Amino acid sequence: MRSFFLGPLLAGALVLGGCQDQANGGGGGARDQITAVGSSTVYPFTTLVAETYVANHPDAKAPVIESTGTGAGMRLFCAGLGAAHPDIEDASRRMKRSEYAACAAHGVGALMEVQIGIDGIAFAEAKTGPGMQLTPSDLYRALAATPLGQPNRARVWRDVNPALPATPIQVYGPPATSGTRDALAELILTRGCEAIDPRARRLAQHDPAAHAALCTRVREDGAYVDAGENDNLIVQKLSANPQAIGVFGYSYLEQNAGTVNGVAINGVSPSYATIAAGAYPGSRPLYLYVKVAHLRAIPGLRDFLAAYAVAWGPDGPLVRRGLIAAPPAVRARAAAVIAQTIPLDPAELPQ
């Protein structure tokens, strides 16, 4: 887990002087700085906005941003209301209806959902790697625990596709708590599974647990290596092991273009243009979730969100850091959610 602190902060000190805990009395004490948890993919974008916010508000305490992974961040975010609980959840996937229910059960109340832009799940290899060209079916056969319902015995890439090299299957990727891992399952593994197993679509409708076991459960025999929430560590591992493949958010590929190459999926390489157009199979939206009650209780939270809206345009600083700008209509809707405090309708969320 990574944390971002600007200035002399007391990390983890959530009972702070300043604002009274107006957020339903749910957190013990008061806090006068913004806190965010969640996605390692969204983390660099939120830290950049935090830098801008502090530069424009010199009297404000700097936000505390923690990279916990989307799933772990949701649990922290939904644990309660008040000073002891985060204001913002960074998410590399959409909130699930079950997570919204957990928030409601802990009295969190209304939430705002703000799409900040688009990202892609990038597959990458070292500059000296074999120049892989993969499909979702290749990745499903290589990474699923039980492809086609059978234990995965593939050891080299040629075992899954005779056109691929006879190099060991070694993929460094995010842990199960990561939104990137969820998106890998949904956008790549499920697509590959449904392309080659006729049972998959029926199971998705009638037996979700069986569908998950068939399509998205990842093997645990060492072919897939959980590299934690630090995507920069995956880049380092690829340099040390040029035959391996890494999985992370597109922004890390862009930031490390001198060290690693993107791996084409279905003949499409990950790039700003291919992800923005939806041509690259791993395209996905990125979100912030914000507690409406904390807008009244936490000084500067509205200004922080406004700074995000200014930064996410096509010519903005977040795009220069690797974010892919959402289409104009999506950006306009997100800005309206912030400006008008439009609450999330949980009926729109996936199961």
Residue spans of alpha helices (H) in 106-197:
136-143, 179-183, 190-196
Sign of CA dihedral 190, 193, 194, 199: negative
Low-confidence ranges of the chain (pLDDT < 70): 1-29
Contact 294, 87 (CB under 8 A): yes
**Per-residue pLDDT, 62:** 93
**Per-residue pLDDT, 202:** 93
By residue count, the chain amounts to: 351
**Per-residue pLDDT, 53:** 96
**Per-residue pLDDT, 4:** 58
Nearest-angstrom CA–CA distance, 168 and 157:
6
Nearest-angstrom CA–CA distance, 102 and 30:
23
Name the average pLDDT for the chain: 90
User: Which residues are CB-contacts of 231 (< 8 A; sequence separation ≥ 6)?
Assistant: 40, 41, 174, 248, 249, 252
Give the three-class secondary structure for 130: coil
Nearest-angstrom CA–CA distance, 178 and 42:
11
* Other CB atoms within 10 A of residue 20 CB: 12
58 DSSP 8-state letter: T
262 DSSP β-pair partners = 124
Nearest-angstrom CA–CA distance, 176 and 218:
9
pLDDT digit string, tens, across residues 59-115: 999 999 999 999 999 999 999 999 999 999 999 999 999 999 999 999 999 999 999
**Per-residue pLDDT, 351:** 76
37 DSSP β-pair partners = 89
**Per-residue pLDDT, 37:** 98
User: Which residues are CB-contacts of 335 (< 8 A; sequence separation ≥ 6)?
Assistant: 309
Contact 158, 214 (CB under 8 A): no
Residue found under tokens 């690259």: 280
SS (H, E, C) 216-256: CCECCCCCEEECCCCHHHHHHHHHHCCCCEEEEEHHHHHHC
**Per-residue pLDDT, 94:** 95
H or E segment and range at residue 173: strand 171-173
